[in-house]
Homo-oligomer: A and B are copies of this chain.
């Protein structure tokens, strides 16, 4: 089943069920007005949404209208939790190698995870608005899941059962602010502005064979200024599955329905700078920092700049037949000029 949230309807938008081909959608005010409301009472509401989904796919839904990515907020326009892991250790290994440090052995057993802000995500087609280019704006293309209620101390097996939805995310980072923030020891805080999620969130069953062992085994397609930039397979080199990440988040506390847990920047192990870009036959990157790390390792200093005003980032994922699964995140970097809403 595929779900989205239209911006119309207030801070939480309007929940719609979306057809598999992303062509039509239908609001379901008599079932659930918002995605959070559906998640709050998932066991009774999901089967009703599934019925609408089947009607939509058959072209028989009573109130179907055209579905447009442009009208979407993030599936949860605001959420009660957004915690992001760093499950692709290759990314961490590159970070460390670029600064001449080792990856601590514990990093291979114990996931990195930070608590992100979740009070107001931007929509998948909204700009990345910042007050200064000097902050070092970077994309981070990732996969994320939305959970139901998870008890404290849940096992990975229990956590796997609590995964309700899967979506994509651009976890924007302000790279030039990160060193000072991390030095303070309290996490990324000011260096992580509002993230954007894919227009559509899908249930794991919708992914078929591509959802294996709580990993999404398909290439993530990242486009930078209309040129291919990354297509790493999100199922490769993921050191911790989503089941493990959710269990990690729940080790010392309950997670409430609607919690979003992210994978961290998708990153596949590759040879070196020359062969890693898509132009040179590699699978490319999901963030600019990674190119800069390769450049630092091989050339002594980064050459590629972070995002500038006017730069565009597109993130999506295609199924085996080339059809978009989640719709596309497509954002332009702009100067912030006051409230977006």
State the Cβ distance, A280 to closest chain B Cβ, in Å. 32
The verdict on A298 contacting chain B, using a C-beta distance below 8 Å, is no
Q: Contact flags (1/0) for A171-192 with B, using CB distance below 8 Å?
A: 0001001000010111111110
The verdict on A91 contacting chain B, using a C-beta distance below 8 Å, is no
Which residue in chain B gives the minimum CB-CB distance to A260?
Answer: B119
Q: Contact flags (1/0) for A74-91 with B, using CB distance below 8 Å?
A: 000011110100100000
Q: Is B186 a contact partner of A185 (Cβ separation < 8 A)?
A: no
State the Cβ distance, A243 to closest chain B Cβ, in Å. 17
Instruction: Give A185 to B177 CA distance when docked, in angstroms.
Output: 14
State the Cβ distance, A256 to closest chain B Cβ, in Å. 4
Stretch at the interface among A53-61, A128-136, A233-241: A128-136
Q: Is B112 a contact partner of A186 (Cβ separation < 8 A)?
A: yes
Residue from the set A83, A110, A152, A191 with the largest chain B CB neighbour count within 10 Å: A152
State the Cβ distance, A110 to closest chain B Cβ, in Å. 8
The verdict on A253 contacting chain B, using a C-beta distance below 8 Å, is yes
| Contact of A252 (CB < 8 Å), options: B130, B185, B249, B251 | B130
Q: Is A80 a contact partner of B253 (Cβ separation < 8 A)?
A: no
The verdict on A274 contacting chain B, using a C-beta distance below 8 Å, is no
- A contacts with B: majority SS: loop
Residue from the set A81, A177, A187 with the largest chain B CB neighbour count within 10 Å: A187
Residue from the set A129, A130, A149, A189 with the largest chain B CB neighbour count within 10 Å: A189
Q: Is A80 a contact partner of B118 (Cβ separation < 8 A)?
A: yes
State the Cβ distance, A267 to closest chain B Cβ, in Å. 17
The verdict on A114 contacting chain B, using a C-beta distance below 8 Å, is yes
Contacts of A338 in B (CB 8 A): 151
Q: Contact flags (1/0) for A114-129 with B, using CB distance below 8 Å?
A: 1111111000000001
Contacts of A177 in B (CB 8 A): 252
Contacts of A185 in B (CB 8 A): 112, 182, 185
Q: Contact flags (1/0) for A148-172 with B, using CB distance below 8 Å?
A: 0101110000000000000000000
Which residue in chain B gives the minimum CB-CB distance to A107?
Answer: B184
The verdict on A309 contacting chain B, using a C-beta distance below 8 Å, is no
The verdict on A40 contacting chain B, using a C-beta distance below 8 Å, is yes
State the Cβ distance, A174 to closest chain B Cβ, in Å. 6
Q: Is B336 a contact partner of A81 (Cβ separation < 8 A)?
A: no
The verdict on A28 contacting chain B, using a C-beta distance below 8 Å, is no
Q: Is A186 a contact partner of B187 (Cβ separation < 8 A)?
A: yes
Instruction: Give A249 to B189 CA distance when docked, in angstroms.
Output: 8
| Contact of A189 (CB < 8 Å), options: B11, B115, B119, B149 | B115
Contacts of A153 in B (CB 8 A): 131, 336
Q: Is B190 a contact partner of A251 (Cβ separation < 8 A)?
A: yes
Q: Is A78 a contact partner of B78 (Cβ separation < 8 A)?
A: no
Q: Is B117 a contact partner of A81 (Cβ separation < 8 A)?
A: yes
Q: Is B258 a contact partner of A119 (Cβ separation < 8 A)?
A: yes
Contacts of A10 in B (CB 8 A): 40
Shortest Cβ-Cβ A-B pairs, 9 listed: A187-B187, A80-B119, A81-B119, A119-B256, A120-B256, A114-B186, A115-B115, A193-B253, A78-B80
